[in-house]
Amino acid sequence: MRDKKTMQLRSAVSSLFRSALDFALPPRCGGCGTVVDETDSFCADCWQSLDFLGPGGCSRCGLPLQATDAENCAVCLARPPRLDRIRAAVAYGDISRSIAMRLKYGRKVALARTMSRYMHPLLGDLPADTMFVPVPLHRWRLWGRGFNQSVIVARELSRRTGVPVSLDSLRRVKRTPPLKGLNLRQRRRTVAGAFRANPQAELRGRTVVLVDDVLTTGSTADACARVLKRAGASRVDLISWARVVGPSRLDL
């Protein structure tokens, strides 16, 4: 309860600060930097080029359903993923990639606000005990880069929803190479044992929403869901800014 109050206060202070900033600087398009009318939005051209995915699709993985599917796609029916619900704001493409890269390497933290604005409506109904858990980086990578972009996005989502962010529930205990180009079995093997749930974290019976910037194969998120559920989480969702859709569909 106290946490929630502190959060609300912090959120009020940060919106005040932001309004002051917004007053001083004209809002710019998150995609190309053109001056736009509204904060955390896009110009007409970038808006057109972004492929917003929306809340629909398979109730679990969020991918488009075939005419013959009811609530779930054939893949999720055949082998339900460990993640209970996966949603992403946009399809991975030139602009969505550039936004994620500028946050990650260019530290344009204002972009996390823009990302969270379009991720927020896709969260769905969440129980009161939900917490956001950013997909952790290995500490060497964290030292190298200085920050975890998923933490910044999770904090922005928290500001919009009041759902707390937990930074110590999940740890990445193994460095993993990029999963690109590996097949499903190789990816699974690579991420196996990479994450560990903190035994001190109160995960039992709780809903966890993993937060990531880009969802590619889903293997990393799946490995996170596995340890969180083993530690007692009753439901694990994933929300990301962008996701790879199309021919290289997810194998969970």
Map 70-138 to HEC letters.
CCCCHHHHHCCCCCCEEEEEEECCHHHHHHHHHHHCCCCCHHHHHHHHHHHHHCCCCCCCCEEEECCCC
Binding span for Zn ion by CB under 5 A among 4-12, 30-38, 115-123, 210-218 = 30-38
- Subset of residues 32 to 91 that bind Zn ion, contact rule: CB under 5 A: 32, 34, 43, 46, 58, 60-61, 73, 76
- The token pair that represents 123 in the structure block: 């969260």
- The token pair that represents 30 in the structure block: 């998150």
- Subset of residues 163 to 202 that bind Zn ion, contact rule: CB under 5 A: none
Give dist(CA 79, CA 63) in Å, integer: 15
CA 67, 71, 75, 81: dihedral to nearest 10 degrees? 160
CA 15, 19, 24, 30: dihedral to nearest 10 degrees? 70
Do the beta carbons of residue 93 and residue 49 sit within 8 Å? yes
Least Cβ distance, residue 246 to Zn ion (angstroms): 15
- The token pair that represents 59 in the structure block: 């109730």
Size of the site for Zn ion (CB under 5 A): 11
Of residues 22 and 69, the one with the C-beta less far from Zn ion: 69
Least Cβ distance, residue 13 to Zn ion (angstroms): 30
Of residues 22 and 251, the one with the C-beta less far from Zn ion: 251
SS3 call for 241? strand
Of residues 60 and 113, the one with the C-beta less far from Zn ion: 60
Least Cβ distance, residue 72 to Zn ion (angstroms): 5
Least Cβ distance, residue 123 to Zn ion (angstroms): 18
Of residues 73 and 227, the one with the C-beta less far from Zn ion: 73
Binding span for Zn ion by CB under 5 A among 28-36, 120-128, 188-196, 207-215 = 28-36
Least Cβ distance, residue 242 to Zn ion (angstroms): 16
Other Cβ atoms within 10 Å of 12 Cβ, number:
10
Of residues 79 and 204, the one with the C-beta less far from Zn ion: 79
Least Cβ distance, residue 88 to Zn ion (angstroms): 13
Of residues 155 and 243, the one with the C-beta less far from Zn ion: 243
Of residues 16 and 25, the one with the C-beta less far from Zn ion: 25
Least Cβ distance, residue 35 to Zn ion (angstroms): 10
| 3: CB partners within 8 A, 6+ apart | 164
Do the beta carbons of residue 207 and residue 173 sit within 8 Å? no
Give dist(CA 42, CA 24) in Å, integer: 19
User: Considering the rule CB under 5 A, would residue 29 count as an interface residue with Zn ion?
Assistant: yes
Binding span for Zn ion by CB under 5 A among 27-35, 110-118, 131-139, 162-170 = 27-35
Binding site for Zn ion (CB under 5 A): 29, 31-32, 34, 43, 46, 58, 60-61, 73, 76
